[in-house]
Amino acid sequence: MSAIATKELSARVGVEVLDVDVERLLNDDEIAVACVDLLEQHGVVLFRELHAGDEAQVAFSRKLGELVQFGKYTNPNVMEISFDPGNPNAKYFPSNDYWHIDGSMDPVPAKTSVLSAHVITDRGGETAFASTYAAYDGLSGEERKRFAGLRVVHRMERIQRLSYPDPTPEQLADWARWSDRVHPLVWTHESGRKSLVFGASASHIVGLDPDESRALLDDLEHRATTPDLVLTHAWSVGDLVLWDNTGLVHRACEFDRSQPRRMHRSTVLGEESIK
Ligand code: OGA
Ligand code: MN
């Protein structure tokens, strides 16, 4: 076994793997095994300027599990994230600017997301990450008791309205293709750890007054994403970042949308529903 050198990126979130090139990524099986542990401990794992390319990214992602298939893309293992008008999902990507969990509208959210930078802008366009385990750990004992039974309705319309506050009937009909999904506010993972489930898709808490519900969800998100808790990754072309989508929220930071920016994402299917 070869040792893997790492460096913490911030106190709470993120670790960089050092001295690994694409060849080693693909051929040294210890790397994928180590990444699983690093993801559990640090949430985000960075390989700086790896320049993996789609084939290597997909081959490595497969070592972490089965991949989500993106039927609209030429390579169904890779979703291109860009505002290029030819991108089949371009209209949905503005919502990436808001804190979210990938696949929060799915029965089982993604386990690991793998994102690489292909075209970046001179300014902005970072990706920010915050731990939802830390969000739970930051609650008072009284809050932990109060939140234990709460259930949250996740709704596509809630995510999309943040970017399109005045939707057309066609947009509303499109968003309604996703059924609401109800998740507990507190996720007790099979590992025994607990995290909070919030973010852009969180519409309201079942049975609570709407204003109280909105205020609580906003407060939890605000407290979990104060700058001292957030890792903001400023991309270089070729960077590859993995994140534990079950224990983090993330978002894209602002950039000039008239400039091209293109990221490639492969996604490892979730194995654990939120319960
Ligand atoms: C994603 C995502 C953020 C970014 O690919 O799931 O949220 O910075 N991307 O592009
Ligand atoms: Mn995302």
Mean pLDDT for the stretch of residues 44-60:
98
Write the pLDDT tens digit of every residue in 113-151: 999 999 999 999 999 999 999 999 999 999 999 999 999
Write the pLDDT tens digit of every residue in 205-255: 999 999 999 999 999 999 999 999 999 999 999 999 999 999 999 999 999
Work out which ligand 1 atom sits closest to the CA atom of 96: 7
Q: Would you say 47 and 239 are in contact if contact means Cβ atoms under 8 Å apart?
A: yes
- Written as one letter, the residue type at 157 is E
Q: Is the CB of 263 under 6 A from ligand 1?
A: yes
Model pTM score: 0.98
95, 113, 249, 257, best to mutate for ligand 1 pocket (most atoms within 8 Å of CB): 113
Helix H or strand E encompassing 202? strand 202-205
Q: Is the CB of 264 under 6 A from ligand 1?
A: no
Q: Is the CB of 115 under 6 A from ligand 1?
A: yes
How big is the chain by its Cα radius of gyration, in Å?
A: 18
Q: Is the CB of 248 under 6 A from ligand 1?
A: no
Count of beta carbons in the 10 Å neighbourhood of residue 76: 13
* 40 vs 78: CA distance, rounded Å: 24
Does the structure show a pLDDT above 60 at 1? Answer: no
Q: Is the CB of 249 under 6 A from ligand 1?
A: no
Does the structure show a pLDDT above 80 at 2? Answer: no
Mean pLDDT for the stretch of residues 9-19:
96
Nearest to 19, CA basis, from 45, 50, 40: 50
Mean pLDDT for the stretch of residues 160-181:
98
Q: Would you say 121 and 111 are in contact if contact means Cβ atoms under 8 Å apart?
A: no
DSSP string covering 74-106, please? SSTT-EEE---TT-TTGGGGGGGGS-B-TTTTS
pLDDT, residue 3, reads 82
Nearest to 103, CA basis, from 229, 4, 197: 197
Helix H or strand E encompassing 136? helix 132-137
**Closest residue to atom 6 of ligand 1, CA basis:** 102
Q: How far is the CA of 140 from the centre of ligand 1 (A)?
A: 31
Mean pLDDT for the stretch of residues 258-267:
97
Domain boundaries, the chain: 6-89+100-130+231-268, 131-224
Mean pLDDT for the stretch of residues 160-186:
98
Count of beta carbons in the 10 Å neighbourhood of residue 202: 28
Q: Would you say 274 and 150 are in contact if contact means Cβ atoms under 8 Å apart?
A: no
Q: Is the CB of 104 under 6 A from ligand 1?
A: no
Q: How far is the CA of 265 from the centre of ligand 1 (A)?
A: 8
Work out which ligand 1 atom sits closest to the CA atom of 235: 8
Domain 6-89+100-130+231-268 classified CATH 3.60.130.10? Answer: yes
